[in-house]
Amino acid sequence: MGGKQGRRRQDHLARRAQSEGYHARSVYKLQAIQRKFRVLPARGDTTGRAPGRGSDAAGRALGPGVLDLGAAPGSWTQFVVEHMGRDASPGGSGSAPAVLAVDLQELDLPGAICLQGDFTEPETAMRIRAHAPFRVVLSDAAPATTGNRVVDTGRSEVLVESILAHLPEWLAPGGNLVCKLFQGGGEQALLGSLRARFSAAHLHRPEAVRRESFETYLVGLGYHGPGEPARNGAASSGGNQ
């Protein structure tokens, strides 16, 4: 898809997002990732959750099922809430939030607990941990761009590395990860890091990504958890790459 035809399609997605009530056209990227990789559990699927309503085996309160990092203005959170229902916990009444949405900007999104802060900062990371473990960690977080590709991709990689470092605290074993990355040469190394942590790892660039954008998404399926050794042979670099 290129030139005028490409731009028309992009404009179409922005208009479509507005008419469908989504806060951003980014929603179509997550929808495409969901269609291809099934990263979000189906509504009512309690696999991977601790049994019982309201607390896990250790008596900790069950938090939201999904962590959405860099969530503003909120279209990914909107989609997750629609997809999973407001309450992702087993036997849920429909009143508990499905998502913990985190951003530097203030957020107010139905069906989500909203947290304002920088997730790379220890204090915010600790506040996130209070709601863990999650079944899915999503990140569409993007650094403020400078126009210098080396600087911008470097900053994007720092965000991804911070998320990978926090996975043992945030993501439940068996869980999935979707993480935006600006392509600048570091993507194969980061894909390798995912391969060591997940049963399958992919780099995927959904069609809804603007043609001129250098963003792509890392997708990790089936987190091994903190205690498990790396299984380097078990991953693939499939997707559309």
**Residues annotated as catalytic (active site), given as ranges:** 180
CA dist 155 and 141 (Å) reads: 11
Q: Exposed, middle or buried: residue 227 (CB in 10 Å: 0-12, 13-18, 19+)?
A: exposed
Instruction: Please count the residues of this chain forming the interface with ligand SAM, following the rule CB under 6 A.
Output: 23
Q: How are strands ordered across the β-sheet holding 112-116? A: 112-116, 99-103, 66-69, 134-139, 171-182, 215-223, 198-204, 237-238
- Residues in region 105-124 near ligand SAM by CB under 6 A: 105, 118-120
Q: Is 222 in the site for ligand SAM (CB under 6 A)?
A: no
Q: Which is nearer to ligand SAM, 81 or 235 (CB)?
A: 81
Q: How far is the CB of 176 from ligand SAM (least distance, A)?
A: 16
Q: Among 7, 90, 104, 238, which residue sits at the site for ligand SAM (rule: CB under 6 A)?
A: 104
Q: How many residues does the chain have?
A: 241
Q: Which is nearer to ligand SAM, 152 or 235 (CB)?
A: 152
Q: Among 39, 66, 72, 191, which residue sits at the site for ligand SAM (rule: CB under 6 A)?
A: 72
Q: Among 32, 33, 37, 75, which residue sits at the site for ligand SAM (rule: CB under 6 A)?
A: 75
Q: How far is the CB of 26 from ligand SAM (least distance, A)?
A: 4
How far from 224 is each of 70, 118, 172, CA to CA, in Å? 24, 26, 9
Contact between 125 and 119 under an 8 Å Cβ cutoff? The reply is yes
Assign residue 54 a region: left if phi > 0, alpha if psi is -120 to 50, beta otherwise? Answer: left
Q: Is 13 in the site for ligand SAM (CB under 6 A)?
A: no
Q: Is 103 in the site for ligand SAM (CB under 6 A)?
A: yes
Q: Mapping DSSP to helix (H, G, I), strand (E, B) and coil, where does residue 205 land?
A: coil
Q: Is 152 in the site for ligand SAM (CB under 6 A)?
A: no
Q: Which residues bind ligand SAM (CB under 6 A)?
A: 23-24, 26-27, 70-76, 102-105, 118-120, 140-143, 159
